[in-house]
Amino acid sequence: MKFDMHCHTKEGSVDAKLPIEEYIKILISKGFDGMMISDHTSYNGYRYYKKMGLDEKYPDFVVLKGIEYDTLDAGHILVLLPNHISLKILEIRWMPVKLLIDIVHHHGGILGPAHPYGIRYQSIINTMKQHKQMQYLKQFDFVEKFNACESEEANHKAQYLAKTYNLPGFGGSDAHKASCAGLAYTEFPARAYIKSNNDLIKFIKKDGKDVEAGGTIYGKTFKSKAPFVFDVLIQSYWVYNKGGGLINRFRHNRHLRKMYLKEILQKKEDES
């Protein structure tokens, strides 16, 4: 089964121009069996997909509900939770990666770094201090080892990273527009039979090493066309990111308290 495991939609990412239905049509025309919606700290693209009944309109095409979470200290992390679990806290950006890992694993999900050798503040290798990287890389469930919007060098390093930590490697186009959609792929063996988030999580946890990923470098991103301007924007983003992280700390704590209180009450109800 062939999937694009890093997809941004117009309905869910403010910087994306590709509507989800058009994305599906492009991938089907290229022989893909499915995709993972991974909008920026948002599930709105997937919500739109369900609301418009696109799951019924394209019953043979699998759409996984994922998210590209913007952490405070480790760049962007791809997250996939079990089928019917939706956590509002994942739509509040700038959570520390340690907390993100704990929450996702607590709920039976999987996660891994997107474009690990990408630009500063968006990738774990170029954002987190080296002595901390190993500590967290050991706790991930996969690595994005091929990203169509990254350089050949960055992808080679990502592939080596996946091999070093013996982690499954995903491939994703990271497309924000039609010309990039489907340029990267992840191939799962037939025995995996991925039809839902639960199927993928189960496969990755059991024997996910048997995954192939690759594709074609896009080469038309804004960072490749105007590197100086892009660098200035990234430095500005750092200030924005740090300030926002402090502001959102209270919101994270509030949501965590509500989330775990709800779980405790549910357990007591089940026991009685």
Question: What's the CATH code of the domain at 141?
Answer: 3.20.20.140
Asked which of 63-67, 109-113, 202-206 is least confident by mean pLDDT, the reply is: 202-206
Largest CA distance in the chain: 62
Q: Which of 219, 175, 156, 157 is nearest to 5 (CA)?
A: 175
DSSP-based helix, strand, coil % in the chain, nearest 5: 45, 15, 40
Q: Judge whether 48 and 12 are in contact, CB under 8 Å.
A: yes
* 137 token code pair: 């890389």
Is residue 252 over pLDDT 80? no
pLDDT tens digits, one per residue of 207-226: 777 899 999 999 876 555 54
Is residue 237 over pLDDT 60? no
User: What pLDDT band is residue 241 in, cutting at 50, 70 and 90?
Assistant: low
Mean pLDDT of the chain: 88
Total count of domains within the chain: 1
* 44 token code pair: 């709105």
Q: Judge whether 174 and 164 are in contact, CB under 8 Å.
A: no
In angstroms, rounded to a whole number, what is the distance separating the alpha carbons of residues 107 and 95?
Answer: 16
pLDDT tens digits, one per residue of 126-143: 989 888 898 999 999 999
- Residues whose CB is less than 8 angstroms from the CB of residue 267 and which lie 6 or more positions away in sequence, other chains included: none
Is residue 191 over pLDDT 80? yes
Task: Identify each DSSP E strand in 58-201 by its residue range.
Answer: 62-70, 76-80, 110-113, 143-147, 169-172, 184-187
Q: Quick one: pLDDT at residue 232?
A: 57
Which domain range does residue 87 map to?
Answer: 2-271
pTM, full prediction = 0.86
Q: Judge whether 153 and 180 are in contact, CB under 8 Å.
A: no
Q: What is the mean pLDDT of residues 171-183?
A: 97
Q: Quick one: pLDDT at residue 85?
A: 92
What's the start-to-end Cα distance of the chain, in Å?
A: 44
Q: Quick one: pLDDT at residue 124?
A: 95
Name the DSSP class of 178. G
